[in-house]
Amino acid sequence: MTRIAQERAADERKKAAALAAEQAKLTHAITISQHQIDLMEKMQVRAHQVLEELKKRGIQKVGRDKISKLEEEEGPLDYESIYQEFQNIQRKEKEQFEIKKKQKMNDTEIWTKAKKEEEKIFMKSYCDKHGKEEVTQI
C-alpha cells in the first residue's frame, strides 16, 4: 500500500510541477502581450505627435494620404510610414540647411577675396604714386 501511495504522491508532484511550469509560461506570455500593447499605444501617441508637427510645418500630405484624413480615421495609424515620411522631411530640411550654409560660406569667401583684391589695388596705386617719396624719406 505504501508503494502505491508513494507513486501517487510522485505523480501528483510531477503534475504540480508541470502545472507550475505551464502557469509560468502563461504569465510570461501575458507579460509580453501587455508590453506589446503598451508599445503599440506609445507608437500611436507618437504618430499623432508627428502628424501635429507636420501640420505645424505646413505639410498637408504623408505619402498619398492627407493628414486631415488620417486624423479623422478611426483605428490605428500606420506608424512606420508616418515616421518614415517625417524622417525624409527632416533629412531634406537638413540638406537645404547645409546647402544654404555652404552658399553663405562661399559668399563670405568671395567677399573676402574681393576685399583683399581691392586693398591690393589700392596699395599698388598708392605705392606707384608715393612710393619713391616714402623711400627717400627713410
> So where are the chain's domains?
2-137
pLDDT at 98: 95
Instruction: Going from the first residue of the chain to its last (138 residues), give the mean pLDDT of each consecutive group of 10, the final group possibly shorter.
Output: 81 87 86 88 88 85 78 80 89 94 90 92 88 74
| Residue appearing with cell numbers 555652404 | 102
Q: How many CB atoms lie within 10 A of CB 44?
A: 14
pLDDT at 3: 81
pLDDT at 19: 87
Over the Cα atoms of the chain, what is R_g?
Answer: 38
Please state, in angstroms and rounded to a whole number, the distance separating the CA atoms of residues 73 and 57: 21
